Amino acid sequence: MSESFPRGVAELSAGLAAGDFSSVELTRHYLARIANHDAAVNAYITVCGERALAQAAAADARRAAGTAGALTGIPYAHKDIFCTRGVRTSCASRMLDNFVAPYDAHVTECLDRAGLVMLGKTNMDEFAMGSSNESSYYGRTCNPWDPGRVPGGSSGGSAAAVAAGLAPLATGTDTGGSIRQPAALCGISGLKPTYGRVSRFGMIAFASSLDQGGPMARSAADLALMLNVMAGFDARDSTSVERPDEDFTAPLANGVDGLRIGIPREYFGAELDPRVGDTVHAALAELERRGARLSEISLASAPLAIPAYYVIAPAECSSNLSRFDGVRYGYRCADPTDLTDLYERSRSEGFGAEVKRRILVGTYALSSGYYDAYYRKAQQVRRLIKEDFARAFDTVDLIAGPTTPAPAFAAGTHVDDPVTMYLSDVYTTAVNLAGLPALSVPAGFLDGLPVGLQLIGNYFDEGRLLATGHALQQVSDAHRAVPPAFA
């Protein structure tokens, strides 16, 4: 298979269906690209070559038998936060470096059932805590557009893999922007579904009321195909929402004529690079030319999202990560003198600096005497944020703005300045606090680096989000751009 193979999933699916190439050939092609290029990106923690080729052969047999689905035989990259039976699932942490999952996450089961081919497990910020993919135990992932810059986080490995052509599809998780932010910085599309749309069973928890799995791909159309497979009720997840099955590709042809898009004035303040604002406005103007109606709105509580998020998320992480104690599984320190020494050294040696920072913040916020002042207050602010969005959706259909305040920043810039790092999620965290769906699509480029447009929808309105992203991608080639080093 030549280097000029189709990059879009729909084209790959059509090629498989027509017999232009087999899934085994396609999988070998991607495995060869990983072998040739991943050293420059570090997108993968584990590559599953033999497993992938066996899955590809099974997919080819399904196509020959006439039982294949749209994505049968399509390779994908799996974020290393989803448990995968028989495969190391590390969460990019020393704590789980030796953990081989004994069962599959619900998302893994869905993808296997549909016949997709898992190329490997992708790099990420440790336990999904970070905005730059620099906190991984396995080293940072590089942005394919400029290896000296970050790809975003925590799903930076998945975003970089798709951008560099090391996989046509990838899974991600989004706790405060961790699908949308890396999608924007790497020039691909990423969808954070409504909370409860995709099961969290087998997805290693960071902050349980915020975490949500979702798809990452080049285009909104490809995201729709993948969401068809990932979404669905799962009784093993108490927060999973039972809804009728939907075909998310069906609304793609709806267009945006008459669509009411609100633009929050708070998203275009001093923290935004004005050139990013201009790029986003140019993309929105394309939607306006296709019939969308733009209007300015206000989300008054928007400035409160970051402080509320960085109380709630660390509080939940301090609880979720208490299970990693050196006793049951995962990293254990050498030669502990007693139980206390086992706990202290296993956790201090097994966790990285960012994870320990968030555990400490969260434990403090939940402690006696501070719970009401911090955690309870943050939850009250969370309610205000949800109410702001609810009022906005009384007058508009979607909300639009930048995904990030600036393009990808240089690696190492914010490692010692966590507060500045946290501010890179200034436009994304409110969506998770409210549980809403949101989409990031490429809006254009600035100094050769991608800029993302974020579209926020009402609950379970993923179809309209994807249709709007698709409409933009009918008149824009930004999502088709390929980093020169990986063309």
* Residue with the larger pLDDT of the pair 416 and 267: 267
Q: Does residue 187 have a pLDDT over 80?
A: yes
Q: Is residue 140 part of a domain?
A: yes
Arithmetic mean of pLDDT, 29-39? 97
**Contacts of 350 by beta carbon, 8 Å cutoff, 6+ apart:** 93, 94, 95, 324, 326, 330, 331, 333
pLDDT, tens only, 374-385: 999 999 999 999
Q: Does residue 369 have a pLDDT over 90?
A: no
pLDDT, tens only, 465-482: 999 999 999 999 999 999
d(CA 83, CA 95) in angstroms, rounded, equals 15
DSSP assignment, residue 417? -
The Cα-based distances of 434 to 210, 317, 378 in angstroms read 9, 18, 13
Give backbone dihedrals phi and psi of 324, rounded to 5 degrees, phi first.
-90, 90
Q: What is the pLDDT of residue 1?
A: 37
Q: Is residue 370 part of a domain?
A: no
Average pLDDT, the chain: 96
Q: How confident is the model at residue 163 (pLDDT cuts 50, 70, 90)?
A: very high
Q: Does residue 6 have a pLDDT over 80?
A: no
Q: What is the pLDDT of residue 2?
A: 43
Q: Is residue 424 part of a domain?
A: no
Token pair listed for 1: 């298979």
Q: How confident is the model at residue 3 (pLDDT cuts 50, 70, 90)?
A: low
Arithmetic mean of pLDDT, 23-42? 97
Q: Is residue 130 part of a domain?
A: yes
Q: What is the pLDDT of residue 179?
A: 98
Arithmetic mean of pLDDT, 361-367? 94
Beta bridge partners of 457: 398
Dihedral angle, C-alpha 180, 219, 486, 421, nearest 10 °: -10
Q: What is the pLDDT of residue 421?
A: 85
pTM value > 0.75:
yes
Q: Beta-strand (E) ranges in 128-259?
A: 169-173, 189-192, 213-217
- The number of domains in the chain is 1
CATH (domain of 200) = 3.90.1300.10
Q: Does residue 356 have a pLDDT over 70?
A: yes
Q: Does residue 423 have a pLDDT over 90?
A: no
Q: What range does the domain containing 133 cover?
A: 9-254+461-486
Q: Is residue 213 part of a domain?
A: yes
Q: How confident is the model at residue 424 (pLDDT cuts 50, 70, 90)?
A: confident
d(CA 43, CA 182) in angstroms, rounded, equals 12
pLDDT, tens only, 299-318: 999 999 999 999 999 999 99
pLDDT, tens only, 220-262: 999 999 999 999 999 999 999 999 999 999 999 999 999 999 9
Arithmetic mean of pLDDT, 3-25? 88
Q: Is residue 127 part of a domain?
A: yes
Q: Is residue 383 part of a domain?
A: no
Kindly tell me the number of DSSP H helices and DSSP E strands found in the chain. 15, 11
Helices (H), 257-296: 274-289
Show which residues are catalytic: 79, 154, 178
Q: Is residue 416 part of a domain?
A: no
The Cα-based distances of 85 to 43, 67, 90 in angstroms read 21, 24, 13
d(CA 226, CA 303) in angstroms, rounded, equals 33
Percentage of the chain beyond pLDDT 70 is: 99
Arithmetic mean of pLDDT, 129-158? 97
Q: What is the pLDDT of residue 4?
A: 57
Percentage of the chain beyond pLDDT 90 is: 94
Q: What angle do CA 432, 109, 185 make, to 5 degrees?
A: 40
| Per-residue exposure over 103-142, b if at least 16 CB sit within 10 Å of its own CB, e if not | ebbbbbbbbbebbbbbbbbbbbbbbbbbbbbbbbbbebbb
